[in-house]
Amino acid sequence: MKSIWKGAISFGLVNIPIRLYSATERESVSFNMLHKTDLSRIHFKRVSESTGKEVPYDEIVKGYELEDGNYVVVTEDELKEASPEKSSTIDIHEFVSEEEIASYYFDTPYYLEPEKSAGKPYLLLRDALAKSKKVGISQFVLRNREHLCALKAEGNVLLLNTLRFAGEIRATDELNIPEKDKISENEVALAKRLIEELSGKFEANKYRDTYAEDVKKLIEAKAKGQKRKAPAKKAASGKVVDLMEALQASLKNSKKRAA
């Protein structure tokens, strides 16, 4: 793995030099853009608006547009110098219980690895977080953007999850959520029974990206000149069903599958 950020965790007066690594990778089928007539590759070029000519990457700079249409050019070094502490430090502000953080705040997970000289303080923070069942809340700058984040112990590593800021979460007041529909105690009891029937321990390995697998099968069949018959599509029903009837039928089906 290649690290994407290098800095330090600040924990009280303890400083832990670390490297940041992506904890996830996408499983997807990659396509190239082709010209329909001869299947030649399509290339996207960086073209100057004034000359119409392609511009080499080393001649491209970042500019912020002002109200009068002029630009202020800012270099990577200047962006780091704007807030050098935030560009190189994950400063833990407070510790909270993870269950206090609503699921919609969680964004992207990263692994933290200690530098060679920082093994002991890294393990100290990891074990203290695990035993206290807390996560450390911090802010740091990654790719010219400030992120809110939570540090937690995950097995033998420290995991950093970037969090969305409160201002990025949309309110629910525009959603049409019913308030008046009366749900009976029997319906709730049956729904709880169905949940219990379908309950189990979460094991991520049980699930896989079946869509990507189906797309690969389609590509393999077309490469061999075969026409693959599409599986039958499940039609979405707009029919209003009797809730009790549907719950009872669902319970029967779950018991059959278990058997």
- 145: pLDDT strictly greater than 60: yes
Strands (E), the chain: 5-11, 14-22, 62-65, 71-74, 89-97, 106-114, 134-142, 145-154, 157-163
Greater model confidence, 171 or 78: 171
- Distance, in Å, from the CA atom of 247 to the CA atom of 73, rounded to the nearest integer, reads 62
Residue 11 has pLDDT above 80, yes or no: yes
Average pLDDT, the chain: 86
Using 50, 70 and 90 to split pLDDT, how confident is the model at 241? low
Residue 218 C-beta-side C-alpha neighbours within 13 Å? 10
Q: What is the pLDDT of residues 30-78, one digit of tens each?
A: 889 999 999 999 999 999 999 999 999 999 999 999 989 899 998 888 8
User: Token pair of 158, please?
Assistant: 């420290």
Higher-pLDDT residue of 59, 238: 59
Most confident of 27-36, 86-95, 150-159, 212-221: 150-159
Phi, psi of 76 (to 5 degrees): -60, -40
Domains of the chain from N-terminus onward: 5-27+80-166 (2.40.290.10), 185-227+243-258 (no CATH)
What pLDDT does 144 receive? 78
Look up residue 47 and give its DSSP letter: B
d(CA 158, CA 152): 6
User: For 20, how many CA atoms within 13 A lie in the half-sphere containing its CB?
Assistant: 22
Average pLDDT of the segment spanning 154-176? 94
Nearest to 110 by CA among 23, 215, 212: 23
Q: What are phi and psi of 210, to 5 degrees?
A: -75, -25
Spatial neighbors of 156 by CB under 8 A, at least 6 apart, are 126
* Rounded Cα gap, residues 55 and 45, in angstroms: 8
What pLDDT does residue 51 have?
A: 93
Given this model, what pLDDT does residue 178 score?
83
pTM above threshold 0.85: no
pLDDT tens for 74-127 read 888 887 777 655 668 899 999 999 999 999 999 999 999 999 989 999 999 999
